[in-house]
Amino acid sequence: MSDQPSDQSAHDPSERPPLHETIRAKMEEYEVDRHLEEIASTLEHAVRQGIAKVGELAHEHKGDIERLFDKAASALDSRTDGRHAETISQVRGSLERGVDRIADQRPGDEPDEPSGSDVPPSNG
């Protein structure tokens, strides 16, 4: 029974390292920083790919998007009897500029490149 006092002292909070040191040691042991950097890098790559894909789609379907804007603007104008034509026109302009900015995010469409560098991909 002489072991009991030493067991109790092992559970004495004053003899344990501070919690923040224990947490830091575990984070280093499990290489948490490295794993977080890997996750961040993977996420950044996925986001960049997503932005590029959305840019490609916006560029490819720009005509369809403009037709949708025409249809929506026409429907709104007719429902409001033309009372909000100026506002509708301003909103449409903002939306078109937004689509242009998104389309500019596609790969190979750098702002420094001359505009003639857009060569459509060949299908054969």
Position 13 scores a pLDDT of 65
Nearest 10 degrees: CA dihedral of 55, 57, 61, 67? -70
Q: Is there a contact between 83 and 90 (Cβ–Cβ < 8 Å)?
A: no
Count the Cβ atoms, other than its own, within 10 Å of residue 114: 6
Q: pLDDT, tens digit, for every residue of 9-67?
A: 456 667 889 999 999 999 999 999 999 999 999 999 999 999 999 999 999 999 999 99
Answer whether 0.75 is exceeded by the pTM: no
Average pLDDT of the residues in 99-112: 81
pLDDT category, 108, cuts 50, 70, 90?
confident
CB 73 within 8 A of CB 88: yes
**Which pLDDT does position 73 carry in this prediction?**
95
Instruction: Give domain limits for the chain.
Output: 19-108
3 token code pair: 């072991």
